[in-house]
């Protein structure tokens, strides 16, 4: 791993889980960890309930847009966190892969998305503690 670790979050549409994870990591770790997110089949826009759930936590993801997964994004990341994309993520030797089993927020209302948002935050906090111990900002 380089001096500054990098994490890539991948889900199918890059419109919910991976966007929320990237936003949490950016919010909680600041510039201490490089953050990327992408989708294997990017959607047209971020799920409105994901935008609303993150706004409730004080994080604005409304200007984000789904991005396509590229081989370069995987190659340039130290850790690749997949969320429901199965075998469509390229695998490179020497990379660390994590698969987070999370419900898909697609088509769900805010009540159903809040627990997904909170579970993602918990997983991101654990990842920060592992990748940048003692350097994470206090939880807000």
pTM equals 0.91
Catalytic residue among 85, 120, 123, 127: 85
Catalytic residue among 11, 59, 61, 128: 11
85 is catalytic: yes
Beta bridge partners of 82: 10, 99
Average pLDDT for residues 26-39, to the nearest whole number? Answer: 95
Using pLDDT thresholds of 50, 70 and 90, give the confidence band for residue 133: confident
Sequence spans of domains, the chain: 6-131
* Best CATH choice for the domain 6-131 from the list 3.40.50.2300, 3.40.50.300, 3.30.428.10, 3.30.70.260: 3.40.50.2300
Using pLDDT thresholds of 50, 70 and 90, give the confidence band for residue 16: very high
SS3 4: coil
Burial profile 32-69: b = 16 or more Cβ within 10 angstroms, e = fewer:
ebbbbbbbbebbeebbebbbbbbeeeebebeebebeeb
CB atoms within 10 A of CB 8: 26
89 is catalytic: yes
For residue 84, pLDDT beyond 90? no
80 is catalytic: no
The dihedral of CA 40, 106, 80, 36: what is its sign? positive
By residue count, the chain amounts to 140
């Amino acid at each position: 791993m380089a001096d500054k670790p990098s994490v890539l979050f991948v889900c199918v549409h890059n419109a919910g889980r991976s966007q929320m994870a990237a936003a949490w990591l950016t919010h909680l770790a600041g510039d201490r960890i490089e953050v990327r997110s992408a989708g294997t089949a990017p959607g047209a826009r971020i799920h409105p309930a994901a935008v609303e759930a993150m706004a409730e936590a004080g994080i604005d993801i409304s200007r984000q847009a789904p991005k396509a997964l590229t081989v370069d994004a995987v190659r340039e990341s130290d850790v690749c966190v997949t969320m429901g994309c199965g075998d469509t993520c390229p695998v490179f030797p020497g990379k660390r892969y994590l698969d987070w089993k999370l419900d898909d927020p697609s088509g769900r209302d805010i009540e159903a998305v809040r627990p997904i948002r909170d579970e993602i935050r918990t997983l991101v906090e654990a990842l920060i503690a592992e990748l940048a111990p003692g350097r994470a900002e206090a939880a807000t």
